[in-house]
Structure 1
Amino acid sequence: MVDKSEKFNWLVRVGYFSRAILYSVLGMIALTSAGKISEGTNGIFMAVEDFPAGQYILWLMVLGLAAYAMFRFASPIFDIENEGSDKTGWAKRIGHAGSGIGHIALAYSAYQFASTGSASGGGAQAAASGVLSFDFGGIVLGILGGAFIATAFFQFKKGLSGSFMNRISAQAPSATRWLGGAGYAARGVVYAVIGWSLINAGLLSGGSESVKTLGDAVASLAGEGAVFTVTAAGLLVFGLFSFVLARYRIIPELDADAGIPKFRS
Structure 2
Amino acid sequence: MTAFADARHEIRRRLAALGEAGRKHSPLLRRVPTLDRLIEAAARVGYGALGFVYLSAGVLTLLAATDRIRDAAGSKEATFWLAEQPFERVWLILLGLGLLAFVQWCVLQSVFDADHVGTTWKGLMKRASQACNGLFHGILAVSVFGLLKKQPVDPNAVETAANQDKAAMVLSLPFGDWLLIAIGLGIVGVGVSNIVNGLREDFTKKLACSAKVCRRVAPLAKAGNVARGVSFIPLGIFVVLGGLHSRASEVRSFGAALDGLEAQPGGPWILAFTALGLMAFGAFSFVEARFRRIQPPHDLNPLT
**TM-score scaled to structure 1, two decimals?**
0.78
Q: Residue 262 of structure 2 corresponds to which residue in structure 1?
A: 222
Paired residues, number? 259
The correspondence of residues 36-47 of structure 1 with structure 2, limited to 5 A, is: 36-38=70-72, 43-47=77-81
2:135 aligned with 1:101: yes
2:232 aligned with 1:232: no
Q: Residue 145 of structure 2 corresponds to which residue in structure 1?
A: 111
Q: RCO higher in 1 or 2 (8 Å CA, sep ≥ 6)?
A: 1
Query: What is the CA distance between 1:197 and its match in structure 2?
Result: 4.2
Q: Residue 158 of structure 1 corresponds to which residue in structure 2?
A: 197
The correspondence of residues 203-222 of structure 1 with structure 2, limited to 5 A, is: 203-206=243-246, 208=248, 210-222=250-262
2:232 aligned with 1:191: yes
> The residue matched to 1:45 in structure 2 has which SS?
helix
Could you say what the CA RMSD is over the residues aligned between the two structures, in angstroms?
3.5
CA distance in 2, matches of 1:80, 1:195: 30
CA contact (8 A) 1:197 1:212 kept: yes
CA distance in 2, matches of 1:153, 1:137: 24
2:114 aligned with 1:80: yes
2:88 aligned with 1:57: no
User: What letter is aligned with 1:32?
Assistant: L
CA contact (8 A) 1:92 1:154 kept: no
Q: Residue 13 of structure 1 corresponds to which residue in structure 2?
A: 44
Q: Residue 29 of structure 1 corresponds to which residue in structure 2?
A: 60
**Percent identity of equivalent pairs:** 26
CA distance in 2, matches of 1:83, 1:212: 35
CA distance in 2, matches of 1:69, 1:210: 31
CA distance in 2, matches of 1:103, 1:177: 24
Rg comparison, structure with higher value: 2
CA contact (8 A) 2:45 2:98 kept: yes
Change (3 A) 1:98 1:134: farther
Deviates more, 1:99-108 or 1:205-214: 205-214
Change (3 A) 1:150 1:9: farther
Query: What is the CA distance between 1:11 and its match in structure 2?
Result: 2.3
CA distance in 2, matches of 1:5, 1:117: 37
Change (3 A) 1:214 1:38: closer
Deviations 1:142-161 (A, max 9, x none): 56555544433342233223
Change (3 A) 1:91 1:249: same
> The residue matched to 1:72 in structure 2 has which SS?
helix
Change (3 A) 1:144 1:218: same
Query: What is the CA distance between 1:228 and its match in structure 2?
Result: 0.9
Structure 2 residues without counterparts, runs of 5 or longer: 1-7, 13-34
Query: What is the CA distance between 1:22 and its match in structure 2?
Result: 0.9
Structure 1 residues without counterparts, runs of 5 or longer: 259-265
Query: What is the CA distance between 1:186 and its match in structure 2?
Result: 0.5
Query: What is the CA distance between 1:162 and its match in structure 2?
Result: 4.4
Deviations 1:6-63 (A, max 9, x none): 3332222222111111111111111124545357656422432344433322211111
Change (3 A) 1:40 1:149: closer
**TM-score scaled to structure 2, two decimals?**
0.69
